[in-house]
Amino acid sequence: MKQYTEEIKMEKQKRKQLKAKKGAVRVATVGCGLHAILNIYPCLPRISEIDLVAVCDLKKELAQQNARYYGAKVWYTDFEKMIDTESPDGVIVVGPPPMQYQIGKKILERGIPIFIEKPVTWSIEESETLQKIAEEKNCWGQVGYMKRFSIPYQIAKHIIEKGDLGRITQITCKYACGKYPPKLWNLPEPKMCSLLGHEVHIIDLFRFFGGDIEELFAMYHCISEEQHGYCVSLRFKSGAIGSLSTNSFERWENFDEYLSISGEEAYIVVDQMARLKFYPRNDWVTVPKVNIQNLSMNWATSGRTSIKTEDRIGYYYELKHFATCLKEKKKPSVSLEDGIQALKTAYAIFESSQSKRPIKLI
């Protein structure tokens, strides 16, 4: 212990001598696995508000390699040593939910905000524990529900907030992928794996647009241990209704994501997070003597001006939001509470599909 404390003292001195990036917050990361290196780390050097001070993984070679690739000043294999030495403003934690729980807890206990991947933890109780610690320490956690930050969904939100859609009346979605691992994170129930590992994304998106879900009824179909489908009818607290079809019957190569939001005499469709069509209540152009129909406003990625995937689907903007919240000492727009609500909804979908009964969430 004495040696550990001495080492930390020496390291702290060294760190002070390293100049921080001007005006940026000091961020450290834990976990250099697949999702981290494919989607999260590549965004960091482009975010001017982030100074990546350290990277940690149990596997030394991964920590070393990713510190080099993404410009971290140092790397660690022991996250507690990293936190105590570097005193970062915030920590990004990316890994399987049991790891995220163990590590997230220790970081929040030190009063340091975290960015943590969805579904946060796989039990509701564990996510509630994280939230409780965060509250006690006057701290917070942002959950990696990046779809909220994806460009077409942000456009849709903006249209809605401007009042151009009217009240939201109905939300419809198809979310389909290929075979899903039945032993994910050692979950005891294979039928739950895609719900907790994957479909929580779209559940959170429903809440983003429709608000809290009051009641739902789900049907379930399965053709193998890795291929499940859920068909969910639901009602939001606002009175609006929704319908969500998810499955792992199709192919990852043809991943399908389609969301339609109906308002009052107007609707928005977002297709594959790559195209948005807005059909407004009033025509935006009139041509004498011509009865124009299907007057939609479109947004799509295209050709030479195509947007980086990590920006379009939200990874870049969610991490920028994390940095802004750290810098301005404000709470994130997607919180541990949102993580808990998405988990509660996923469990309710499962319970309803098995009991063949509607479930009330509020």
Query: Where does this chain bind ligand NAD (CB under 6 A)?
Result: 30-36, 56-59, 62, 79, 94-97, 99-100, 103, 117-118, 144, 146, 197
- Give the shortest CB-255-to-ligand NAD separation in angstroms: 11
Q: Which is nearer to ligand NAD, 134 or 159 (CB)?
A: 134
Closest CA to 255 of 196, 143, 346, 179: 179
Tokens of residue 207, six digits: 């809440």
Residue 104, helix vs strand vs coil: helix
Contact 178, 248 (CB under 8 A): yes
- Give the shortest CB-96-to-ligand NAD separation in angstroms: 5
Q: Which is nearer to ligand NAD, 103 or 349 (CB)?
A: 103
- Give the shortest CB-57-to-ligand NAD separation in angstroms: 4
3-state class percentages of the chain: helix first, strand second, coil last, to nearest 5: 45, 25, 35
- Give the shortest CB-60-to-ligand NAD separation in angstroms: 10
Q: Which is nearer to ligand NAD, 121 or 169 (CB)?
A: 121
Residue 220, helix vs strand vs coil: strand
Q: Which is nearer to ligand NAD, 94 or 232 (CB)?
A: 94
- Give the shortest CB-290-to-ligand NAD separation in angstroms: 45
Tokens of residue 270, six digits: 């977002």
Whole-number Å distance between alpha carbons of 312 and 320: 13
Tokens of residue 245, six digits: 């079809």
Q: Minimal CB distance to ligand NAD: which residue?
A: 33
- Give the shortest CB-197-to-ligand NAD separation in angstroms: 6
Q: Which is nearer to ligand NAD, 88 or 95 (CB)?
A: 95
Q: Which is nearer to ligand NAD, 21 or 106 (CB)?
A: 106
Whole-number Å distance between alpha carbons of 286 and 90: 52
CA angle 210, 119, 35 (to 5 degrees): 115
Cα atoms found within 13 Å of the Cα of residue 109, Cβ hemisphere only: 9
